Amino acid sequence: MKIIIKILLIGCALGTFQGCKKYLDVVPDNVATINSSFSNANETQAYLFGCYANLQALADIRRNSGFTGSGEILFPINMQDQTTLGGAGGDAGFDLMRGLQNSLNPIHNFWDGYNMGLKMYESIRMCNTFLENVHIPLDVQPYDRKRWTAEAKFLKAYYHYWLLRMYGPIIIADKALPINSTSEVVREKQQSLDSCFNYVVKILDEAIIDLPPAIQNAAAEAGRITSAIALSVKAEVLATQASPLFNGNPDYQGFKGKNGEQLWPATYDASKWERAAEACKVAIQAAEAAGAKPYELRLQGNIVSASDKTKQLLTLQGAFVDGWNTEQVWTLNPNFGWQYMAMPRVTADAAGNVFAVYSNFSVPIAESEIFYSNNGVPINEDINYDFPNRYLLATGDEAHKYYIKQDYTTARGNFNREPRYYSSVAFDGAVWFGSGNTNDNNPNYVNAVNGYASPPDRTRYNATGYWAKKLVHYQSVPGQNTVWQTYPWTFIRLSGLWLLYAECLNEAGNHPEAISWLDKVRTRAGLQGVITSWAQYSRVPSKPTTKEGLRSIIHQERRIELSFEGQAGWDLRRWKELQTVLSKPFQGWTVFNRTVAGYYQLSNVYQPAFGLRDYLFPIQQYDLLTNPNLVQTPYW
C-alpha cells in the first residue's frame, strides 16, 4: 500500500482529474466523467484512492496547526528568514503564533485550500460522489463494495471533523450537489456546533460496521482505514466535543446564524465526557484486539554498544519514529521529510555540509521545562530539584554519561530529568546516539551536541539551543553522503488513547480508574505511579487526589508523551490553554556567543501573539461575499 496508494493517488490526480476536465469540455452534465470513473472495479477503486489524497497530504506537518501553532517548535526564527527559507507559503502555519492570522487571506485556509490549507469541501464532494456511484460497476465484489463505502464514509466524516475543530459550526455537505444547482441551493448555511459533531459521529458509526478490524496484508494495504482507526477517531471527536472550548464555552454564546439561530451550545453538558469515555474504552479494546500493544525496541544496523539506558531512550522515541510498529494505531504513508530541520550538527561531516542540516526547528526553553524531573513530577514542584538555579552551569558526570557528555559544561536544568526528556529533546552537551556512531560507551564520544559551535550563517541555525530530538531517527546520517532513515507520520498511538481515556474518566468523575490508565503511560516511561510520585516528591502532594489537580497532571502528561507529534496544538486549543502558553516570550540561550558564560544567558527569541479570536479560524472574507448565508467566526 505504501507504494500502491502513491501510484494510485498520482494516477487520480493526473489521470482522473485531467480526464474530468477533458470530458467536461464536451459534456456539460458530467455524465461521461461519472461513467468512466465507475465503469469497473479498478476505476472505482482508483477513485476511492483519490478520496484519500487529502488525508495523505495531512501528514505534511506544515499543514497541521497542532504542530505549527503549538509553541513546541519555532520556525522561521525571524520574519526576514521567511524569504531566505522558502517564503511564507510553506512556513505559513508557524505564523499562527505571531498574531498574523487574518480574514482577508487566512493562514491554513482549509475552507478554500490556501496558505498550506487543503480543499476539504472538494474532498468531501469526491467522497459523496463515490458514495452515490459505487453501486454502478458490476464487477465489484460485495465485500469490496461494503468496505470501499465504509472507507469513503470515514474520509467524509474525518474531513468534516478537521473543519469542525478549526471553525466550529460548519456547512454539513452530506450530498454532492448537482453541477447545475441554483445559487440558492449552493449557498448553504452553517449548522449548529453539536449538530456538526453528532453528524461526524453518525457517519463514523456507519463506517465502523463495514471496516475490517485490522489490515491483513500490510504490504498491499498499509495506510487504509480500519474499524480500530475509526473507533479511535470517534473517541477523539467526542473528547473534543466535551472539552472546554466546545462544551458550553461562554466566549461564543453570541455565535448565531443569519436568521438568529443559536450555533453554539448554551450550557456545559457533563454527560459528553461520559460518552467520550465509553468511546475511548471501546477504541482501546478494538485497537488491542487488532494487535496494538506498547512498542518493543527493534534495533537495526551495526550497534557497537547500547546500554539499557540508551535502549530505554530509543524505545520511547521509537514508538513514534519506527514506522508501522504495534503501538501506532493510525499511521499515514508520506515520509517525514524535516529531520534536517530538527537535528543539530553532531559530526564534523554534518558540519562540513551546511545544506545537509539546517537545525531551524528550535524548541523554546519553556517547552523543554514541561518534562518532569527524574522523580516523575514537574521540576517546579519537585522538593529535591533546584528549580531556581536551573540556569546555572554544571559538568557532565558519570551518573548522566548516557545523557550528557562527561566533563562537558551545560545547564543544571539538563540534569536529573525523566527519560522522555532525553529521548525527546537535545541540548548543548547532550549525548546523541546515532548519526553514524552507535557506541554509547566511547569515553571520547564525538556525537554530542555542541550548542555554541559556530553556525554557518544567520539562517541555518537553532535559535534557542534546544532541538526536537524525538523527530530524528538514530539511523539518519547527514553529511557529505547523507542518508535519512525516513518514517511515516503517526496520528494516533496507543499511549495517546490511554491518556485520552484517563482524561475523559477524570472529567466524568471516575478518579481511580483515570489514575490507572495514566500510570500505564508513566510505567512505560520509567516513572512511578502518579500517587506515589506526588506523595514522595511534590510540594503539592495532594494534587492528584482532586479532579482539578489530576486534570492538570493529565494535561501535562499528554504534552510530554505526545510532544512534537502534532497533537499539542489541538489539545491546548480544546482545553482553552493555548493562550496561556503563547502569552510569554519564547526564550533560548544567546546562541551566537562564542563563550560558555556568554552562551548561557537567557535571550528572548520573539514574543508570540495569540488572542481569544485565534482559538477558531476565520472564514475568508471573499466567501462571506459569495455566500451571504455564512456568518463570520466570532471576533473576526
pLDDT confidence of residue 447: 64
Average pLDDT, the chain: 91
Q: What is the pLDDT of residue 78?
A: 66
The distance of Cα 626 from the centroid of its chain, to the nearest Å, equals 33
CA angle 520, 526, 528 (to 5 degrees): 65
> In this predicted structure, which of 272-276, 439-443, 541-545, 563-567 has the lowest mean pLDDT?
439-443
Q: What confidence score (pLDDT) does residue 14 get?
A: 32
Q: How far apart are CA 8 and CA 597, in angstroms?
A: 56
User: 218: which 3 cell numbers?
Assistant: 500490510
C-alpha distances (whole Å) from 367 to each of 112, 149, 568, 574 are: 33, 43, 11, 19
Give the least confident one: 91-105, 173-187, 302-316, 331-345.
173-187
SS3 of 119-159: the string is CHHHHHHHHHHHHHHCCCCCCCCHHHHHHHHHHHHHHHHHH
Q: For 191-214, what is the mean pLDDT? A: 98
Kindly state the average pLDDT of the residues 299-324: 95
Region of poorest pLDDT, from 35-44, 87-96, 399-408, 502-511:
87-96
C-alpha to C-alpha distance for 609 and 614, rounded to whole angstroms: 9
pLDDT of residue 122: 96
Count the neighbouring beta carbons within 10 Å of the beta carbon of residue 390. 17
Task: Express as a percent the part of the chain with pLDDT over 90.
Answer: 81
Q: Is the pLDDT of residue 358 over 50?
A: yes
Mean pLDDT computed over 91-112? 95
Q: What mean pLDDT is predicted for residues 600-615?
A: 96
d(CA 621, CA 609): 22
Model confidence pLDDT, tens digit, residues 436-471:
889 998 766 556 787 766 565 678 889 999 999 999
pLDDT above 80 for 610: yes
Q: What is the pLDDT of residue 559?
A: 98
Q: Is 80 exceeded by the pLDDT of residue 509?
A: yes
Task: Give me the residue label for grid cell 452515490.
Answer: 132
- pLDDT for position 335: 87
| Three-state DSSP state, 602 | strand
- Phi/psi at 64 (5° precision): -100, 105
Helices (H), 290-334: 308-321
Mean pLDDT of 8-23: 34
Average pLDDT, integer, range 244-266: 96
Q: State mean pLDDT over 601-614.
A: 96
Residue pointed to by grid coordinates 449548529:
192
User: Given pLDDT bands bounded at 50, 70 and 90, which one contains residue 319?
Assistant: very high
Specify the long-range contacts of residues 84-89, CB closer than 8 Å, at least 24 apart. Answer: 84/459, 85/358, 85/360, 85/459, 88/115, 89/115, 89/116
- Whether 226 shows a pLDDT value over 60: the answer reads yes
Name the β-bridge partners of 63. none
- The residue among 320 and 594 whose pLDDT is bigger is 320
Query: What is the mean pLDDT of the segment spanning 394-401?
Result: 96
What is the pLDDT at residue 353?
A: 81
C-alpha cell at 277: 469515555
The pLDDT score that the predictor gives to residue 88 is: 43
Specify the range with the lowest mean pLDDT, choosing from 200-204, 547-551, 591-595: 591-595
**pLDDT reading at 1 higher than 50:** no
Average of per-residue pLDDT across 220-245? 97
DSSP symbol at 355: T
What lies within 8 Å, CB to CB, of 163 at 6+ separation is: 110, 111, 120, 121, 170
- Report for 130-139, 182-191, 431-440: range of highest mean pLDDT: 130-139
The span from the CA of 119 to the CA of 579, in Å, is 28
- State how far the alpha carbon of 193 is from the alpha carbons of 111, 260, 362, 577, in Å: 16, 14, 36, 20
Stated pTM of the model: 0.93
pLDDT of residue 391: 98
What is the Cα–Cα distance from 219 to 324, expressed in whole angstroms?
11
Residue 500, pLDDT > 70, answer yes
Per-residue pLDDT, 445: 56
- Are 515 and 502 in contact by the 8 Å Cβ rule? The answer is yes
Residue 443: the pLDDT is: 64
CB-facing half-sphere around the CA of 331: CA atoms within 13 A: 28
Give yes or no for residue 33 having a pLDDT over 90.
no
- In this predicted structure, the answer to whether residue 82 has a pLDDT above a threshold of 80 is no
User: Does 213 score more than 70 pLDDT?
Assistant: yes
Residue 16 pLDDT greater than 90, yes or no = no
